[in-house]
Amino acid sequence: MIFLIIGGSASQKLAAKIAAELQETLCPIETRKFPDGERYIRINGKIEEKAVVVQSTGFPQDENLVELLFIIKTLKDLGVKTIKTVIPYFGYGRQEKRFKSGEAISAQIIAELLESAGVSELFCVNLHENNMANFFNIPLHELSAMPLIAQTIKRTIDDPIIIAPDKGALDHAQELAGLLDCDCDYLEKTRISPEKVETKPKNMNIEGKHAVIIDDIISTGGTIVNASQILKSHDAKKITVACVHPVMVDDALLKIFASGVDDVIATDTLRSDVSVISLAPLIADALKK
């Protein structure tokens, strides 16, 4: 199978690892900005019939997205027939509906732009919203990072208990706990009085346990800091935080460690100091199918 594999500037390292898994080499690409900030791209490799483009569209979202669109459309213009596109972290994925009148449905607009540029098939990891497929007429493959996160936890933590920081993350916690064959719970908010809200583990006693908080995204870190403070007040022995997409705005990681968390692990859908779990094998497997 000969693929032209191209990594955008946000995902060069992951693209190189995917290429290695597929026993291919990365296609050289020139990508830079003109002095006025406009993007220039040039694909320097030999053109093949099939291409794989890898680019997360995290910060700076607009720049990464424009670069990705330029790559896809250029490949199309150069005669590439099949353009499998991997967007490990899909930026703008959280605005999938109009919460207030007049708002842009950003996720849908991005989906339409990608499709019109020439994407044949899209591969993403743990999308924040599960109705994203409705925006595409092309196949959308959503991959789960949980099996690879589970492998790392299995290697490093004895007898964990998986905690979702809120009910929204419970699906992830259940998937991870199922893979590890251990217990899971979520933190539930209860309004005690008009002035007082209490948040605590819904069912389990976590005293003396090694708690693993799992979430799809860590952005400002606020959700995790809150969760870790609650787990500490319930006498968790140790706290590890695991997430799929380490967005890590500003000093999010610092705030998380300062709240008493012992360790943070994340995947490499985005580059960060804690992106220790590579999803290259997962993505390469999906591309082979």
Residues identified as active-site: 189
- Range in contact with ligand R5P (rule: CB under 6 A) among 19-27, 109-117, 213-221, 263-271: 213-221
Q: Which of 87, 217, 261, 282 binds ligand R5P (CB under 6 A)?
A: 217
Q: How far apart are alpha carbons 38 and 93 in whole angstroms?
A: 24
Element (H, E) at 264: strand 263-267
From the number of C-beta atoms within 10 Å of its C-beta (0-12, 13-18, 19+), residue 282 rates as: buried
Per rule CB under 6 A, is residue 169 in the interface with ligand R5P?
A: yes
Structural tokens at position 273:
């100091």
- Range in contact with ligand R5P (rule: CB under 6 A) among 31-39, 83-91, 201-209, 211-219: 211-219
Please state the separation of Cα 129 from the chain's center in Å.
12
Q: Which residue in 262, 276, 269, 274 sits closest to 160, CA to CA?
A: 262
Per rule CB under 6 A, is residue 215 in the interface with ligand R5P?
A: yes
Beta carbon nearer to ligand R5P, 96 or 216: 216
Beta carbon nearer to ligand R5P, 42 or 94: 94
CA contacts within 13 A on the Cβ side of 248: 24
Helix (H, G, I), strand (E, B) or coil at 189: strand
User: Per CB under 6 A, which of residues 112..131 are in contact with ligand R5P?
Assistant: none
Pure H helices in 5-142: 12-21, 61-77, 106-117
Residue 174 is which amino acid? Q
Q: Which of 96, 185, 216, 268 binds ligand R5P (CB under 6 A)?
A: 216
CB of 270 to ligand R5P, least distance (A): 13
The residue behind tokens 């006025």 is 36
Beta carbon nearer to ligand R5P, 67 or 216: 216
First CA to last CA distance, the chain:
11
CB of 221 to ligand R5P, least distance (A): 5
Per rule CB under 6 A, is residue 260 in the interface with ligand R5P?
A: no
Per rule CB under 6 A, is residue 175 in the interface with ligand R5P?
A: no
Beta carbon nearer to ligand R5P, 147 or 168: 168
CB of 223 to ligand R5P, least distance (A): 3
Helix (H, G, I), strand (E, B) or coil at 146: helix
Per rule CB under 6 A, is residue 218 in the interface with ligand R5P?
A: yes
Q: Name the site residues for ligand R5P (rule: CB under 6 A).
A: 168-169, 215-223
